[in-house]
Structure 1
Amino acid sequence: MDTDAGAVSLRQVDQRWELVCPTRPELVAVPNAYLGYLADRNYSPRTVRTYGFGLVAFCRWAYGTGKDVEAVSTDDLLSFLSACRQQVVAGRGGPNVVDLAGRRTDRLAPASVNLRLAAVAGMYEYLAMRDPSRISPVPKGRPSSWFAQGERSGLLAHTKRRPAPRSRLRLRTPRRLPRALTPSETRALLASLRSRRDLAIAGLMLYCGLRSCEVLALAVTDVDIGGRWLLVHGKGGKDRRVPLDGDLAAAINAYLLTERPDTDSASLFVVAKGPTRGQPLTPAGLRTIFRYHRARSGVGAGAPHALRHTFGTALAEAGVDLAVMQSLLGHAHVDTTARYIHLAPTHVKASYDAARTRQRDTSS
């Protein structure tokens, strides 16, 4: 991508994210208005930041090609898509290094490119909202037909979601099944954890299915140890109540009584030592903890989200109802939860063997 990397940057000012371009400030006027619009709509700061980085890449491309953001055409957006596909990521292996699928590892992943394209498409939808006579350069595809089973019928059929046109400005991405840890990997990873805090964090992911951001968002008052319930603050500002395992409740209680330092912070998990002792544990701090214990235990796949996948897989193998799984995992759509059904080899094999037995009995 032919850009000046230093021409456009992203910064946070007064809890808001904005793009900066000293040499062409008019280039970032529309992107900044769009980021302000997202903040006014109460999008999470993390989402606004992600969209901001996508718009940084787009504005850097526009800066390098001499384009005006408000005068971009569909052909220009397709050129930006091609530039994203050809961009070389610094610090990765050269063109001779490929993954198992034969793709170069020094290029952006399709999901990363789609994040940029989603930010750009949202910005032009925002411009079209401000001026209905304006024609958006984002090419539209066929309407989406993403419906859950039973959503089109019944007494509440009138409440079904209307299919929205999907943008053709996106890459096809492989849909991989979530990777769960094996029992031996789980035991090895948990055995490497020494502090009660780290055991409680891993337990909340493994036995309650919490995301890492949900673990860090927990306050002390969100944990009902006696009643064994958790109030989880999920993605998109959606709260849910999750039952708390008895042994995990005891581990959290032991952490609160013996390890958690005296602090004014309301966060459940705080830094245990060092200059930031008593301050809320950060995402970077959580990643450091798991990175250290992955190396110590030899479980390379032991990332925080793998523990959540292990929880979902265990529910599927136990035959838990899909709607209950969706509620526990906090998924917005049941299709996301259904992926875990494909990870229940015990039940799949049992059903397959039973069907084959019936076939043999019928044919004999």
Structure 2
Amino acid sequence: MDTTESALERAVRGYLDHLAVERGLAANTLASYRRDLRRYTEFLRDRGREAPEKVEEEDVTAFLRSLREGSESRVALSATSAARTVVAVRGLHRFLHREGLSDGDPAGGVRPPTPPRRLPKAIPLAQVERLLEAASAGEGPRVLRDRALLEVLYGCGARISEAVGLDRDDLDAESGTVLLRGKGGKDRVVPLGSYAWEAVDAYLVRARPALVGTGRGTPALFLNARGGRLSRQSAWTVLRTAAARAGLSTTVTPHTLRHSFATHLLEGGADVRVVQELLGHASVTTTQVYTLVTVDQLREVYVAAHPRARSSAAPARGRLPSQDEA
């Protein structure tokens, strides 16, 4: 078996090193890039392209086509997964061109497929309350911890990694805020509601001392049974267990609570840019997706309140008159 590294594989390795050192990408993101680019180099090798300068736009286009169509050895990818892979390929060639390792950028004109726009999943407030009550079932330190964890996830729209990454000193009871460490090293300070503060306070006073006593001491806010920092996987288990106890029929994930946080704020009249800051979105465009969730409610209010919102001559909802009808 030939284990000689091709020029293209060396170029990919240099690009991944750049992403790790210069860009500081997270380990999970780097693993995704490495996997996607390995698939790309294997595809190019089968086409006889083993050096960056040999790759042409048609090769990149054919690779994208192969992602969507699949093959005997690989299943077809969704538009979302294919788009992610093409982003990695475009970044590679842009880097190689910038570093003078190739004369042009064969991927510059190749656009990734547009994924279907999926609305964030949110659950009604009544179901959130059932979930939180279910987390309080039973006795002991872990029960108080679980309630506090879920209250924080919903109370400030935290990502699961942000919640389990909290330290005790990240809480500021005087200002009623919490420091969240977001993606890409971007920190943000967000308010935490009274219900969440009460749950956190109960956990800190009546539960955390018992948990921390079993370990070696840690600044982490949420602890496991051994006194160490609670892991993401364990936090997922806490949520799944509470959802099962609450009898929720829909699948509930940590992001479900984050989506519900955003949706409920917008339904309550919050400005989309305020919600953007609370969620830690870099672009307001990302946050605006949540406004689509509330459009049915807006339509119902409009139909009920506007004197000329309904008419027997009005076209069906979502349909405009044709040119002949107009």
Q: Shift in Å at residue 268 of structure 1?
A: 1.8
Tell me if structure 1 keeps the 8 A contact 2:144–2:199: yes
Q: Shift in Å at residue 307 of structure 1?
A: 0.7
Deviations 1:265-288 (A, max 9, x none): 32222322xxxx233223333333
Please state if 1:75 is matched with 2:29: no
Q: Shift in Å at residue 296 of structure 1?
A: 4.2
Partner of 1:180: 122
Corresponding residue to 1:353 among 291, 304, 319: 304
Higher relative contact order (CA 8 A, sep 6+): 2
Q: Shift in Å at residue 49 of structure 1?
A: 2.6
**SS of the residue 1:25 aligns to:** coil
For residues 67-146 of structure 1, the aligned pairs below 5 Å read: 67-70=49-52, 71-87=54-70, 107-131=76-100, 134-140=103-109
Please state if 1:239 is matched with 2:171: no
**SS of the residue 1:36 aligns to:** helix
Q: Shift in Å at residue 252 of structure 1?
A: 1.2
Whichever structure has more strand as a proportion of its residues is: 1
Corresponding residue to 2:11 among 2, 5, 30: 30
**C-alpha distance 139-216 of structure 1, shift in aligned 2 (>3 A):** same
- Structure 1 unaligned segments of length 5 or more: list them: 1-6, 8-21, 91-105, 141-167
CA distance in 1, matches of 2:302, 2:37: 49
**SS of the residue 1:242 aligns to:** strand
**SS of the residue 1:67 aligns to:** coil
**C-alpha distance 64-283 of structure 1, shift in aligned 2 (>3 A):** farther
CA distance in 2, matches of 1:267, 1:109: 38
Tell me if structure 2 keeps the 8 A contact 1:217–1:267: yes
Amino acid at match of 1:80: F
Deviations 1:169-194 (A, max 9, x none): 31121112212112343233223324
- Structure 2 unaligned segments of length 5 or more: list them: 137-142, 312-326
Q: Shift in Å at residue 36 of structure 1?
A: 1.0
CA distance in 1, matches of 2:171, 2:307: 48
Across the aligned residues of Structure 1 and Structure 2, the Cα RMSD in angstroms comes to 2.8
Amino acid at match of 1:82: R
Tell me if structure 2 keeps the 8 A contact 1:207–1:311: yes
**C-alpha distance 44-215 of structure 1, shift in aligned 2 (>3 A):** farther
**C-alpha distance 358-120 of structure 1, shift in aligned 2 (>3 A):** closer
**SS of the residue 1:331 aligns to:** coil
**C-alpha distance 358-286 of structure 1, shift in aligned 2 (>3 A):** closer
**SS of the residue 1:310 aligns to:** helix
Q: Shift in Å at residue 118 of structure 1?
A: 0.8
CA distance in 2, matches of 1:40, 1:210: 27
Partner of 2:280: 330
Partner of 1:55: 37
Please state if 1:280 is matched with 2:229: yes
Amino acid at match of 2:9: V
Q: Shift in Å at residue 53 of structure 1?
A: 2.2
Tell me if structure 2 keeps the 8 A contact 1:180–1:307: yes
CA distance in 2, matches of 1:298, 1:58: 44
- The number of residue pairs the alignment matches comes to 295
- Give the structure-2-normalised TM-score: 0.80
